[in-house]
Amino acid sequence: MKKIGLIIFTTVLFLSAGFLFASEEEPFKIHTKGDGIFSIPFGKTYDYTNIYVRRVIDGDTFQLESGERVRLIGIDTPEIHESKKLYRDSQRSGQDAKGIKELGERSYQFTKKLIDGKRVSLEFDVEKYDKYNRLLAYVYLKSDGTFVNAEIVKQGYASLMTIPPNVRYADKFSKLYREARENKRGLWQ
């Protein structure tokens, strides 16, 4: 009986600490072994239909005011950071890593100008998170309704990356991608 009381006391103490140390900007998170993060949503809750973009990380990833990272569904921009993917892309394309990073910087600048410091609305597809615990979303600017994923492809700053089951706008993105390449927009100049 004493063990059960101790377990209950410890649990209550632990959860109380979450209330004390959780901020309005970041929920209380417990990092576990493996890919998962156990998150207890103490503090402020966020409305994904009207949320602020804190910073752009690269051409297809950004961070929300909540601290969460968002990966744009259906598109892929060149890497700007040193990573295994950068070197895989280099081998696959035959282009040197430095050249890929330069293209990635152009994509990053386009996305940054488009959404950094602005309010957006997120639309989810079948899967809400990727294996890196990033939100997977279609994103719209609150100011004028611009479909961000589509605009990046339309202006030639992204390739396609269709990963089932998140395929809601795959046909639209494919059409925009062909038009951007044919008209030599963005990275296709």
Structure tokens belonging to residue 90: 């280099």
User: DSSP letters of 120-143?
Assistant: EEEE--S--B-TTS-EEEEEEETT
Calculate ∠ Cα 163-166-168, nearest 5°.
120
Residues annotated as catalytic (active site), given as ranges: 71, 79, 134
Distance (Å, rounded) from C-alpha 46 to C-alpha 129? Answer: 16
Structure tokens belonging to residue 70: 């968002």
Reported as a pLDDT band with limits 50, 70 and 90, residue 54 is very high
Residue 175 is given by DSSP the state H
- Would you list the domain boundaries of the chain? 1-45, 46-188
- pLDDT over 90 percentage in the chain: 69
Reported as a pLDDT band with limits 50, 70 and 90, residue 10 is low
Distance (Å, rounded) from C-alpha 134 to C-alpha 40? Answer: 16
CATH architecture of 46-188: Beta Barrel (2.40)
Which residues are 16's β-sheet partners?
none
Using CA atoms in the order 175, 181, 184, 185, what is the torsion angle rounded to 10 degrees?
A: 60
Q: What is the pTM of this model?
A: 0.77
Alpha helices (H) along 46-142: 84-93, 97-115
